[in-house]
Amino acid sequence: MEKKFLIAVDLQKDFIDGSLGTPEARAIVSAAARRIRYCRENGWTVLATLDTHGPDYMDTPEGKKLPVPHCVRGTEGWALNPEIQSALSGCPAVEKPTFGSVRLPGIIRALAGDDSPLAIELIGLCTDICVVSNALLLKAHFPDASIRVNAACCAGVTPEKHEAALEVMRSCQIDVINA
C-alpha cells in the first residue's frame, strides 16, 4: 500500500507577511491550510520544514547573497503563519539552515517504515527556492516515488519565478498539480 506524505515547506511569517513576504504568498495561505487539513483527515503523514537561521545570518554565505535577515530562530518571522500553525498542530517540523533539507529524505524513510511505494506532495514557499530544492532532493532520494508539487498551494518570489520553477520540476519528472 502506498504511503502518502505532505511536506509543507517554510510557511513562515517572514515569507508570507514579513521581511520577504509577497502578495502571492499571502494569497495561498488559506488554500495551503485547507490542503494540510485534507491530507491529515485522509491519513497522510504531514511534515513541515522551517527555514532556520541564527543571529549571525548576515555573516553566512546565504546572508551575503541575500542580505535580508529572515527566519531567525525565536523571532516572530520564524514562526509559522497562525492559520498554517493551526492546521499543522501536532505535526513534526524539520528545521533546515538552507534551501533544501538534507535530513528530510531520512525522516520520510524512517516514518514510512518499509519498502512500500511512496507518494510525496509538496506545498509552500518559495516555489523557486525552497520548494524546488526539496522536491529535487526528494526525487534524487526516491526516484521511484510519485512526487508532485501542488502549484495552487505554492508561491514564488515573483509569479514568473514560480512558473519557471514549476517548469524545472516538470522537466525533472515531478508532477505539478493544482488541487
pLDDT of residue 21: 97
- Report the alpha-carbon distance of residue 7 to residue 111 in Å, rounded: 13
CB 88 within 8 A of CB 46: yes
pLDDT of residue 1: 83
Query: What CATH number does domain 3-177 carry, 3.20.20.80, 3.40.50.300, 3.40.50.10190, 3.40.50.850?
Result: 3.40.50.850
pLDDT of residue 114: 78
* Model pLDDT for residues 19-37, shown as the tens digit of each residue: 999 999 999 999 999 999 9
pLDDT of residue 16: 98
pLDDT of residue 71: 98
Alpha helices by DSSP H, listed for the chain, are 13-16, 23-41, 61-65, 82-88, 104-112, 132-141, 159-171
Helix/strand/coil for 97: coil
Sequence ranges of the domains in the chain: 3-177
The pTM score is 0.97
pLDDT of residue 115: 82
- Tell me the mean pLDDT per 10 residues along the chain, length 179: 96 98 98 98 98 97 96 98 98 96 96 91 98 98 97 98 98 96
